[in-house]
């Protein structure tokens, strides 16, 4: 599995490429400076609202930013020592044949002969 680049590293590369400061980005995208610092430090995940802001700001798609975060989390979770044995023990699902309901014996005969049995009253 290829090592996924952290969203914070990608965000830092955008800051460098555009020669931007954290405070400038914070002001421009209407997010607190502390949130930007947490994002840079990898302590804040890229949520959908943040992804929408970054996409608008940098001229790309929100799916790009959300995808970075998701790919990184998947890669990290796949290495989790508590999760790895659980994942190994989970079997693959097998398709089961659908169950066909069996008609009661009296109704089956009536259905074959075309007679109706429902609604009859004893005389």
pLDDT, one tens digit per residue, over 75-116 is 999 999 999 999 999 999 999 999 888 777 665 555 555 555
Residue that the structure tokens 């997010």 belong to: 31
User: What per-residue confidence (pLDDT) applies to 1?
Assistant: 44
For the chain, domain boundaries: 7-88
Mean pLDDT, the chain, as a whole number?
A: 88
CATH fit for domain 7-88, picks 1.10.1740.10, 3.40.50.2300, 1.10.3720.10, 1.10.260.40 = 1.10.260.40
* Region of residue 66 (phi > 0: left; psi between -120 and 50: alpha; otherwise: beta): alpha
Distance of CA 91 to the CA centre of its chain: 21
- The pLDDT assigned to 71 comes to 96
Query: 50-53: long-range contacts (C-beta < 8 A, 24 or more apart)?
Result: 53/29
Task: Mark out the alpha helices in the chain (DSSP H runs).
Answer: 7-18, 22-29, 33-40, 48-58, 62-78, 83-89, 105-113
The per-residue pLDDT for range 5-46, each reduced to its tens digit, is 999 999 999 999 999 999 999 999 999 999 999 999 999 999
Q: What pLDDT shows up at residue 12?
A: 97
Distances (CA, A) of 30 to 6, 24, 53: 23, 10, 8
Candidates 19, 18, 20, 14; CA nearest to 33 is 20
Predicted local distance difference test score (pLDDT) of residue 99: 86
pLDDT for the residue 121: 55
Average pLDDT over residues 54-79: 97
Judge whether residue 64 has pLDDT over 80: yes
């Amino acid at each position: 599995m290829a090592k996924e680049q952290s969203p914070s590293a990608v965000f830092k590369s955008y800051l460098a490429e555009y020669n931007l400061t954290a405070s400038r980005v914070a002001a421009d995208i209407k997010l607190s400076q502390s949130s930007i610092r947490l994002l840079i430090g990898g302590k804040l995940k890229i949520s959908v609202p943040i992804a929408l802001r970054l996409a608008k700001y940098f001229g790309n798609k929100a799916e790009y930013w959300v995808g970075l975060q998701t790919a990184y989390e998947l890669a990290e979770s796949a290495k989790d020592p508590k999760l790895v044995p659980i994942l190994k023990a989970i079997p693959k699902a097998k398709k089961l044949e659908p169950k066909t309901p069996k008609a009661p014996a009296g109704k089956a005969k009536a259905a074959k002969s075309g007679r109706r049995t429902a609604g009859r009253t004893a005389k």
